[in-house]
Amino acid sequence: MLKIKEYVKVNSLEEAYELNQKKSSRVLGGMVWMKMMNRSVGTAIDLSGLGLDAVKETEDEFVIGCMTSLRTLETHAGLNACTDGAVRESLRHIVGVQFRNCATAGGSIYGRFGFSDVLTMFLALDSYVELYKGGRISMEEFAEKKADRDILVNIIVKKHHQRSAYVSQRNAKTDFPVLACAVCLDEEGMRLSIGARPGRAALLKEKMDTPVNKKDMSAGEWNRQAELLAQKAAECVVTGSNMRASKEYRTHLVRVLTKRALLAAGGMENGN
């Protein structure tokens, strides 16, 4: 049972930050996971009055407020056009539409959950978080940080000439992923994120030729390169066992899903 002693709808980020310095305080997102916990919260901090529930698009980036719902991201035309629909694909399996209308982008990223489709997707993109005191840091750096008492304000996604894809394996349609894979190809090469290992998503980066930066690359050449990259990912990414799958099966999925995602991002047919 979740017990909340005091509820405060804050008027500023400074007020939220000061309240959150107590270990018994907790910032509220959509509360879709929090409400299932057995814990006592001294002060529940509500950011919903601060206008942080929208996606703002500029010439160079998307700025996603921490209180923006996952459903808003799933249906955002600009963000999905920029990512070839990968953001939508990463979200559409998460429980159901009613759930995604409640769950927030900030809560999903800040939690750094091992099962998170959301962290897996954004880690593959050129993305950042804006912290109230810590400022803007890369998603890669944030994913490796230990939890602290700062406030996550915005998630930023940079616009690039890129191709992206997201694939996952699930035992049931709306279950947590057994393994999740997101890839982004741009002028510099590949960013590959593997989540639900079952640990927190891990990022692999390679400077390489891709169909994005080498326009005359043949399908056969890219298929061979994708196979080599998938094998390397399977050798490098640490996996584990839990109730959903064994370590060995997850390692097999790393290779299979990485190749599928690479071929999809490169505009080729899926491979096995």
Strand 2-9's sheet: what is its strand order? 2-9, 39-46, 25-28
pLDDT tens for the chain, residues 1 to 272: 788 999 999 999 999 999 999 999 999 988 776 666 677 899 999 999 999 999 999 999 999 999 999 999 999 999 999 999 999 999 999 999 999 999 999 999 999 999 999 999 999 999 999 999 999 999 999 999 998 999 999 999 999 999 999 999 999 988 999 999 999 999 999 999 999 999 999 999 999 999 999 988 999 999 999 999 999 999 999 999 999 999 999 999 999 999 999 999 998 754 44
Length of the chain: 272
Q: How far is CA 33 from CA 56, 90, 113, 137, in A?
A: 26, 18, 11, 25
Distance of CA 99 to the CA centre of its chain: 17
**Is 139:129 a contact under the CB 8 Å cutoff?**
yes
Q: Which pTM does this prediction carry? A: 0.93
